[in-house]
Amino acid sequence: MGERLKGKVAVITGAASGFGEGMARRFAEEGARVVVSDINAKGAERVAGDIGKAAIWTQTDVSQASEFEEMAKAALDAFGRIDVMVNNAGFTHRNGDMLGVDEATFDLITAVNMKAIYHAALTVVPIMESQGGGVILTTASTAGLRPRPGLTWYNASKGWAITATKSMAVELAPKNIRVNCLCPVAGDTGMLTQFMGEDTPELRAKFRASIPLGRLSTPLDIANAALWLASDEAAFITGVALEVDGGRCI
């Protein structure tokens, strides 16, 4: 057990699997108490159960303001504070023609990838301000920095998240609230098939070949980057879109 987040409470959305699960486990290893939040209740309960007494879980649909408020209340009831808010939950359409994405899918992308950041701010900024500061961290994507055909609406949502991060960082700096985002390259998570359109050895090889370090990201890669940004080691870092991409964006 480390102590880089000792005494801190972190709320992580989309934490039942993938990058969010990696963050929840890594943060707990470094002394944080963690709220494992996901729309997938069974997955969230599993991750929190594995972590133990330092974690609770909530079933939360981040597209709904009322559920965000319930999640924050659960965190405060259990741990008394919120020091780190990680907006990690995400949604995408399948790789393909931009004109083939139906409106319901588009609306869900914007609700989960964009509006949830708004819900988080309205919910946690007053809490963090009353505590004297905090950290807001969003999982954006390399797609928001170096977009490619086939994921246009997802790319746009992540570009929005990056701009929101930078604007929030400037506005919230006087409140001692740091705001940053991560830009991961795709990893072997539940969304990979959607990103590629289909999952074949040939497509994976083609995608890996586009990454200078020659592999996909892992939850631990993203969790370690998130850990640093959430910790006091990054106390002078705000408004950053950190590429965790093996060189993909070069």
Percent of the chain topping pLDDT 90: 90
Closest CA to 46 of 67, 10, 20: 20
Q: What is the pLDDT of residues 134-188, one digit of tens each?
A: 999 999 999 999 998 999 999 999 999 999 999 999 999 999 999 999 999 988 7
Known active-site residue 118? no
One-letter amino acid at 224 equals N
pTM, rounded to two decimals: 0.95
| Window from 19-28, 62-71, 186-195, 199-208 with minimum mean pLDDT | 186-195
Q: Write the CA distances from 23 to 15, 30, 101, 220, integer angstroms.
A: 8, 11, 31, 8
Quote the tokens at residue 27: 């943060």
Q: What is the pLDDT of residues 19-59, one digit of tens each?
A: 999 999 999 999 999 999 999 999 999 999 999 999 999 99
- Using an 8 Å Cβ cutoff, are 90 and 97 in contact? no
- Using an 8 Å Cβ cutoff, are 86 and 11 in contact? yes
Q: From CA 172, how far away is CA 184, in angstroms rounded?
A: 24
The single residue of 57, 91, 154, 195 carrying the catalytic annotation is 154
- Using an 8 Å Cβ cutoff, are 89 and 13 in contact? yes
